[in-house]
Amino acid sequence: PQTFSIASIPGDGIGGEVVAAGLRVLDTIAKQSEGTVEFEVTEYPWSSEYYLKNGRYIPEGGLEELEKHDAIYFGAVGSADVPDHTSLWGLRLAITQPFDQWANIRPVTFLPGVESPLRKADDTELDWIVVRENSEGEYAGMGGRNLSGRGPGNEVALQTSLHTEKGCERIIRFAFDIARTRDVKKVSSVTKSNAQQYGMVLWDEVFVRVAQDYPDVETESVLVDAMSAKFVLYPEQLSVVVASNLHADILSDLGSALAGSLGLAASANLNPERRFPSMFEPVHGSAPDIAGQGISNPIGAISSAALMLDQFGLTAEADRVRRAIENATRAGILPRDLGGESNTVEMTEAIVAQLEAIHAEDLAAV
């Protein structure tokens, strides 16, 4: 059999239940393959609780351990007991940065049976991908505090954005390559180059230059404030949206909310060179307000598992998972955040049941 080894990191809050949902779906895919595909899952208990006990999120040698796997499947991190910047730099960014997962793809999927706040005639015809620069920009981690040297009341803090020509070029090219594979071949580049005259202007210039290599792809350059309005008012004009780390972070939450809920959104942190494993995770966080209740929406995590299947080259299996999700929502089976009544396990089992039905149909068709 083809064996894929997966490091799972449930993390905090609802991370555990949504990761369990995704693994349940992968298990179903493996069973349906009749021994041709296997997933070997190793769980790492790295969480805020682990940090409070051990003083670090990732133990010594942890990254070397992760590196042995074909992929990382991540839940969420964030707890009231640890400052958010400590948990994020301690776990999530401590993986994406050293593993050079510079391309973050965040599809925005409008599902049948899910009411979007956009209320277009047919939202399900909308289909966007937010491509997020995932290694530099506003997340470069550069800066400092207490820079005035003048004591209490006079603190000065600096948070620097880093934009390199190579970093801009690789993510913009990545976005164009995706656009080429889509029905609507269009890339919208998002910056704030009117106010941010160094890094964002560099980005704009690189965008214009790279676009020349893709004459078959339509382009536009939009300021981030205007783009946030465009998401709401002219959603049919979007296909691939490429933006810096922070801008794409914000736009991807907006996109998922417009599709119905933050709980729907999937994400893949890719190291396109495949020198390091890539990491798959829902866009949402640990959702402390609903943690422990078993009512979170597992669709974002399950769709992220589908992106992992794509990365493994199991595209037919990935498509089956996406179809199973659509069939479940089309049938009106929805989690609480989408106005339905299904809890996490019920929603997951509904998707598994759809997978079984698709599998049975496929077998009957042979």
Q: How many residues bind to ligand IPM according to rule CB under 6 A? A: 4
- What is d(CA 89, CA 141) in angstroms, rounded to the nearest whole number? 9
State the minimum distance, in angstroms, from the CB of residue 283 to ligand IPM: 5
Binding mask 243-282 for ligand NAD (x = CB under 6 A): -------------------xx-----------------x-
State the minimum distance, in angstroms, from the CB of residue 313 to ligand NAD: 26
**Which H, E and C letters describe 213-266, residue by residue?**
CCCCCEEEEEEHHHHHHHHHHCHHHCCEEEECHHHHHHHHHHHHHHHCCHHHCE
Which residue number, 123 or 249, has a Cβ lying nearer to Mn ion? 249
Q: Is 84 in the site for ligand NAD (CB under 6 A)?
A: yes
* Ranges within 233-252 binding Mn ion (CB under 5 A): 249
From the list ligand NAD, Mn ion, ligand IPM, none, partner contacted by residue 63 (C-beta under 5 to 8 A by kind): none
Which residue number, 123 or 337, has a Cβ lying nearer to ligand NAD? 337
Q: Is 249 in the site for ligand IPM (CB under 6 A)?
A: yes
Q: How many residues bind to Mn ion according to rule CB under 5 A? A: 1
Q: Is 285 in the site for ligand NAD (CB under 6 A)?
A: yes
Q: Is 337 in the site for ligand NAD (CB under 6 A)?
A: yes
State the minimum distance, in angstroms, from the CB of residue 103 to Mn ion: 16
Q: Is 12 in the site for Mn ion (CB under 5 A)?
A: no
Token pair for residue 204? 């704009």
Identify any residues that bridge with 14 across adjacent strands, giving them in sequence order: none
State the minimum distance, in angstroms, from the CB of residue 291 to Mn ion: 17
Which residue number, 259 or 355, has a Cβ lying nearer to ligand IPM? 259
Q: Is 123 in the site for ligand IPM (CB under 6 A)?
A: no
The interface region with ligand NAD, picked from 155-163, 171-179, 212-220, 287-295 by CB under 6 A, is 287-295
Applying CB under 6 A, among 10, 16, 22, 78 the residue interacting with ligand NAD is 78
State the minimum distance, in angstroms, from the CB of residue 174 to ligand NAD: 20
Which residue number, 249 or 317, has a Cβ lying nearer to ligand IPM? 249
Binding mask 264-293 for ligand IPM (x = CB under 6 A): -------------------x-x--------
**Which H, E and C letters describe the chain, residue by residue?**
CEEEEEEEEEECCCHHHHHHHHHHHHHHHHHHCCCCEEEEEEECCCCHHHHHHHCCCCCCCHHHHHHCCCEEEEEECCCCCCCHHHHHHHHHHHHHCCCCCCEEEEEEECCCCCCCCCCCCCHHHCEEEEEEECCCEEEEEEEECCCCCCCCCCCCCEEEEECCHHHHHHHHHHHHHHHHCCCCCEEEEEECCCCCCCHHHHHHHHHHHHHCCCCCCEEEEEEHHHHHHHHHHCHHHCCEEEECHHHHHHHHHHHHHHHCCHHHCEEEEECCCCCCCEEEEECCCCCCCCCCCCCCCCHHHHHHHHHHHHHCCCHHHHHHHHHHHHHHHHCCCCEHHHCCCECHHHHHHHHHHHHHHHHHHHHHHC
- Residues near Mn ion (CB under 5 A) are 249
- Residues near ligand NAD (CB under 6 A) are 14, 18, 76-78, 84, 88, 92, 262-263, 281, 284-290, 296-297, 300, 337
- Residues near ligand IPM (CB under 6 A) are 88, 249, 283, 285
